[in-house]
Structure 1
């Protein structure tokens, strides 16, 4: 039996955390969540980008090209 502990961070987990961070800083109450842990876990550079409205919209356009993908992930 292998009891190895993974030391790498999952890309899927990073994406989910970034999505929840974007949602945390949303102005629209339909998209805003109360997950205050996600912004702490995201890299500080990405956290600064997400706080800015323009760069947050740009990130959403780049990462969530498929219609409804962002909404599905924050739900």
Structure 2
């Protein structure tokens, strides 16, 4: 079992925020502009890599972030 912990990743999250009073959509946009983000394809590639390891290889935890977030 592997725990994959992605940092700031470009997803549809902002489009699901239905309370404009929170201002979270604007905050997310500012974070993306300042830090950059990972793409869903990059995370999928990482999942594929983990799944392709031999059964005896244990990748216990992977933390992946955009360079500027780290």
Same fold (TM over 0.5): no
- Which has a greater percent of helix? 1
Structure whose residues are more often strand by fraction: 2
Query: Which TM-score applies when normalising by structure 1?
Result: 0.27
Point out which structure has higher relative CO (alpha carbons under 8 A, 6+ apart): 2
User: What is the TM-score normalised by the length of structure 2?
Assistant: 0.29
The structure that has the greater radius of gyration is 2
